């Protein structure tokens, strides 16, 4: 009996390497295929996504060895523009995105959760037509306990000259994003993106150092059993949100899942259905999450997959920002689940 037959005999299942069984599609090649050609824009966006992938690999590499290195975990002692304590990983990941885009020639401006003002790369500006908005580490509170984290990004085309350096064009609605996505640092590192032609996921193969296509044209289920919200905030919410949660508690078939990193929670919902909520509170009606580099890119992904994202009052992608770090309530996920929350907000039931 051969070794394989012996294993089969013992009921040991063989783990096959999916990548070997089919043509490996890398991230940059996939972007080119999306645009069916080698136009200048297709090449720019392919190079840009490749750079985002590189930033993801650098962050993933550091996270995977965090417990073995000095100076990776914990706080810096600084407070950012949002009034939140900054972690060392927030600073590292923010700098990683800056350094990979410095060499890209494509991006003139970067705007992130960790920087008060947009960061200009003057040497790229004469030719760099794009702006990258990003949250370098989503779910920072998970950093020191080896739990899932994310990065979120949006790509926008620069409009006009931006001569006063105020980047006012970035305040335009999320409909103006030309690409968006996230990187999920979980048991494996995944990158999910859209350029308005469906939602596609990639898994980092660490031995190749490449993001390889995992699933194309992902569709979110119309309804799911998961509701994902920080119920510790119950006492601070408007009555309509409390009523929705009471409804969930008395209805069969719901499961609570909340990880502290919305990239994880929303990825679960993208794949299995359900709803993620970060509502405003009575004291802070705009909630916690930032519109331009958290809510809007995730809304673009979820809408492209057939789901919905709203503030409770209006579609996230229609919101016009007043400032770069504007916050917004977020209700996002499967169509039917989002409609149910909306109904509680708008009609009380």
| Binding-site residues from annotation | 113, 135, 137-141, 230, 258, 288, 294
Per-residue contact track with ligand AHM, 308 to 327, x per CB under 6 A?
--------------------
3-state secondary structure of 207: coil
Q: With binding defined as CB under 6 A, does residue 261 bind ligand AHM?
A: yes
- Which residue in 53, 128, 139, 297 binds ligand AHM (CB under 6 A)? 139
Q: Residue 203's CB: how many other CB atoms inside 10 A?
A: 18
Q: How far is the CB of 124 from ligand AHM (least distance, A)?
A: 26
Residue with structure tokens 């990683």? 96
Q: Which is nearer to ligand AHM, 246 or 284 (CB)?
A: 284
Closest CA to 316 of 341, 335, 337, 298: 298
Q: Which is nearer to ligand AHM, 113 or 342 (CB)?
A: 113
Residue with structure tokens 């979110």? 220
- Radius of gyration of the chain measured on its C-alpha atoms: 21
Q: Convert 78-97 to b/e letters by CB count within 10 Å (16 or more is b).
A: eebeeeeebbbbbbbbbebb
CA atoms 63, 68, 73, 77: torsion sign: negative
Report residue 103 as tokens.
């060499």
- Which residue in 288, 308, 327, 340 binds ligand AHM (CB under 6 A)? 288
**Which residues on adjacent β-strands are paired with residue 213?**
202
- Which residue in 44, 90, 138, 210 binds Mg ion (CB under 5 A)? 138
Task: Provide the annotated binding site for Mg(2+).
Answer: 113, 135, 137-138, 294
3-state secondary structure of 332: strand
Q: With binding defined as CB under 5 A, does residue 135 bind Mg ion?
A: yes
Q: Which part of the chain contacts ligand AHM (CB under 6 A), choosing from 25-33, 139-147, 162-170, 331-339?
A: 139-147
**Farthest CA pair distance, the chain:** 76
Q: Which part of the chain contacts ligand AHM (CB under 6 A), choosing from 29-37, 239-247, 257-265, 307-315?
A: 257-265
Q: Which is nearer to ligand AHM, 138 or 162 (CB)?
A: 138
Q: How many residues belong to the site for ligand AHM (CB under 6 A)? A: 12
Q: Which is nearer to ligand AHM, 62 or 129 (CB)?
A: 62
- State CA 27 to chain mean position distance: 16
Q: How far is the CB of 97 from ligand AHM (least distance, A)?
A: 14
Q: Which is nearer to ligand AHM, 128 or 274 (CB)?
A: 274
**157, 316 in Cβ contact below 8 A?**
no
d(CA 298, CA 263): 8
Q: With binding defined as CB under 6 A, does residue 262 bind ligand AHM?
A: yes
Q: Which does 260 bind (CB under 5 to 8 A by kind): Mg ion, ligand AHM, none?
A: ligand AHM
Q: How far is the CB of 171 from ligand AHM (least distance, A)?
A: 20
Q: With binding defined as CB under 5 A, does residue 114 bind Mg ion?
A: no
3-state helix, strand, coil in the chain (%, to 5): 40, 25, 40
Q: Which is nearer to Mg ion, 135 or 265 (CB)?
A: 135
Q: How many residues belong to the site for Mg ion (CB under 5 A)? A: 2
**73, 88 in Cβ contact below 8 A?**
yes
Task: Provide the annotated binding site for substrate.
Answer: 138-141, 230, 258, 288
Q: How many residues does the chain have?
A: 349
Q: Which does 205 bind (CB under 5 to 8 A by kind): Mg ion, ligand AHM, none?
A: none
Report residue 279 as tokens.
């509502």
Residues lying near ligand AHM in the complex (CB under 6 A): 84, 113, 135, 138-141, 230, 260-262, 288
Residues lying near Mg ion in the complex (CB under 5 A): 135, 138
């Amino acid at each position: 009996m051969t070794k394989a037959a012996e294993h089969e005999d013992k009921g040991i299942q063989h783990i096959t390497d999916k990548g070997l069984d089919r043509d490996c599609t890398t991230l940059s090649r996939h972007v080119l295929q999306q645009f069916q050609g080698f136009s200048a824009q297709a090449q720019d966006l392919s190079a840009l996504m490749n750079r985002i992938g590189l930033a993801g690999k650098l962050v993933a590499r550091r996270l995977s060895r965090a417990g073995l290195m000095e100076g990776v975990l914990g706080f810096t002692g600084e407070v950012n523009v949002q009034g939140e304590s900054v972690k060392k990983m927030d600073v590292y990941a923010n700098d990683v995105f800056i350094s990979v885009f410095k060499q890209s020639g494509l991006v003139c401006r970067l705007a992130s959760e960790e920087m008060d003002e947009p960061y200009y790369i003057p040497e790229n500006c004469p030719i760099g037509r794009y702006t990258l908005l990003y949250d370098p580490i989503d779910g920072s509170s998970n950093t020191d306990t080896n739990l899932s984290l994310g990065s979120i990004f949006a790509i926008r085309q620069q409009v006009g000259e931006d001569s006063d350096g105020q980047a006012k064009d970035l305040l335009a609605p999320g409909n103006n994003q030309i690409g968006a996505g996230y990187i999920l640092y979980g048991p494996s590192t995944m990158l999910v993106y859209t350029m308005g032609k469906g939602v596609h996921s990639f898994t980092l193969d660490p031995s190749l150092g490449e993001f390889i296509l995992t699933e194309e044209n992902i569709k979110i289920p119309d309804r799911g059993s998961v509701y994902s919200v920080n119920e510790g905030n119950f006492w601070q919410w408007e009555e309509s949100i409390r009523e929705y949660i009471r409804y969930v508690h008395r209805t069969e078939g719901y499961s609570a899942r909340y990880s502290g990193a919305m990239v994880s929670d929303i990825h679960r919902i993208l794949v299995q259905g359900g709803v993620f909520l970060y509502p405003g509170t009575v004291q802070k009606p705009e909630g916690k999450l930032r519109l331009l580099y958290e809510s809007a890119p995730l809304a673009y992904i979820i809408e492209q997959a057939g789901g919905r994202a709203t503030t409770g009052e209006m579609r996230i992608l229609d919101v016009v920002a007043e400032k770069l770090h504007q916050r917004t309530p977020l209700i996002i996920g499967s169509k039917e689940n989002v409609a149910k929350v909306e109904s509680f907000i708008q009609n009380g039931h």
